[in-house]
Amino acid sequence: MNITRGSRAVPGIGAVLAALLLLAGCSGPGGSGAGSGEGSGDAGASRQSLLPAAEGKTQYPLTLESEYGETVLEKRPERIAAIVPNGIDTELLLSLGVTPVLSSSMIDEGGYLAAHGAAELDTYEFVRGEDVPMEAVAAADPDLIVTVGWTPGFGEVKDIYDRLARIAPVVTSPASDQRMIPWQDSIRILGETLDLGDAAEAVIAEHDELFAGIRSEHPEFGGQTATWAIYYGPSNGLQYFSQHDSAPELFLSDLGFAPNPNAAEFARDTTVSDELLSKIDADVLLLGRSEATSAEEMERQVTGTELFRNLEAVRAGKYIQLPPKTDDGGDLLWAITSGGPIGNAWAAERLVPVIAEAL
């Protein structure tokens, strides 16, 4: 997508990883709030309270271009529907101080957005393998529909773009065919569209400052390689999640870690077979399991095997086993693979001390 003012184009890019949804194999829980499951946004709600004051830099009408077509914002939008199933766009909007009128029921699957008002949002019920329900989007009465974080794991924007555009102008990403779209690029698109460009840059700067502080406090992370893998039980097996340019790898590099040179082995297929198990070895090995998989099952199939015990990270005591949920009910993998600045900060707060102890 390019956002255009008259004849001058402002390039945009876009944010999020969908691999977690593909492996989870289930729909999210029902959302909460007055319109949960139906997306019945209150059209009579106070519109001015839904987003911060304009910065006065974006000029309207604003043409929102994409490879699927273009729509026009005649004025600054006030009622914004964020429909990407895993909720990344909602997270970005919340970080900008914007309250969307519609989100996916998966919005707080990771458990880290409750403190930011996620539980009060109106949601539609997302069912994996099905389209976003257009009746729920229309019922929310949006004047902008956001799809900048859409990636192929949720289907294709092109398949629903025309139907969305009949409801309201649509802002999307030019990189919707990518597996992961950096959230920094997506929030810049949103900032430009909503006349909150300075606010978007402030969110990015705060994130960068946080992780720069972590790297300064933990120089022992610097240059060491790290792997993030998850065991999903017998049906899906062990999966490698820190592929090159993936959200987990970018998160780990923000902490100071170097890319694992073996990551290229899993560029096309993330399944870790016995033959490839040695390729997950690294200076630090982070291994989690899905909620549906017991610790006993993972030990029997993975961690208790001779192949796994012979990994250098395991023998050196630099192997960290992560629970499906943190003590406060959050999901670290979800926060990192589907999260933006809020999820990354939340995950870093809980993960950094664990890694530091292991090192």
Each residue of 209-240: pLDDT tens digit?
Answer: 999 999 999 999 998 999 999 999 988 999 99
**Average pLDDT of the chain, as a whole number:** 84
* Residue 18: pLDDT over 50: no
Claim to verify: residue 145 and residue 30 sit in the same structural domain? yes
Does one domain contain both 181 and 307?
A: no
Asked whether the predicted pLDDT for residue 9 surpasses 50, the reply is no
39 and 75 both lie in a single domain: yes
Mean pLDDT of 316-338: 88
Strand, coil or helix: 170: strand
- pTM as predicted: 0.83
Please state the length of the chain: 359
Same domain, 114 and 55: yes
Report whether pLDDT(293) > 70.
Answer: yes
What percent of the chain shows pLDDT beyond 70?
85
Closest CA to 32 of 114, 140, 112: 114
Q: Within this chain, do residues 218 and 96 fall inside the same structural domain, yes or no?
A: no
Q: Do residues 22 and 142 share a domain?
A: yes
Question: How many domains does one find in the chain?
Answer: 2
Domain boundary among 196, 225, 260: 196
pLDDT band of residue 119 (cuts 50, 70, 90) is confident
Sequential DSSP letters for 39-101: T---TTS-GGGGSPPP-S-S-SSEEEEETTEEEEESS---SEEE--TT-HHHHHHHHTT---S
List the domain range (segments joined by +) for residue 78.
2-196
Do 168 and 49 share a structural domain?
A: yes
Shared domain for 25 and 151, answered yes or no, is: yes
Domain CATH number, residue 238: 3.40.50.1980
| Per-residue pLDDT tens digits for 69-85 | 999 999 999 999 999 98
Tokens of 267: 């560029």
Q: Quick one: which H or E segment has residue 263?
A: none
For the chain, state the CA radius of gyration.
Answer: 21
Residue 162: partners with Cβ closer than 8 Å, 6 or more residues away: 68, 69
* Listed residues 169, 196, 223: the one ending a domain: 196
Co-location of 189 and 217 in the same domain: no
pLDDT-derived band at 103, boundaries 50, 70, 90: very high
Same domain, 191 and 289: no
- Domain identity same for 102 and 52: yes
153 & 214 share domain: no
- The predicted structure's pLDDT at residue 179: 63
Q: Do residues 325 and 111 lie in contact, with contact meaning Cβ atoms separated by under 8 Å?
A: yes
Residue 136 pLDDT exceeds 90 = yes
Residue that terminates a domain, selected from 196, 229, 248 = 196
Residue 6 has pLDDT above 80, yes or no: no
Write the pLDDT tens digit of every residue in 146-201.
999 887 777 788 889 999 999 999 999 876 556 677 899 999 999 999 999 999 99
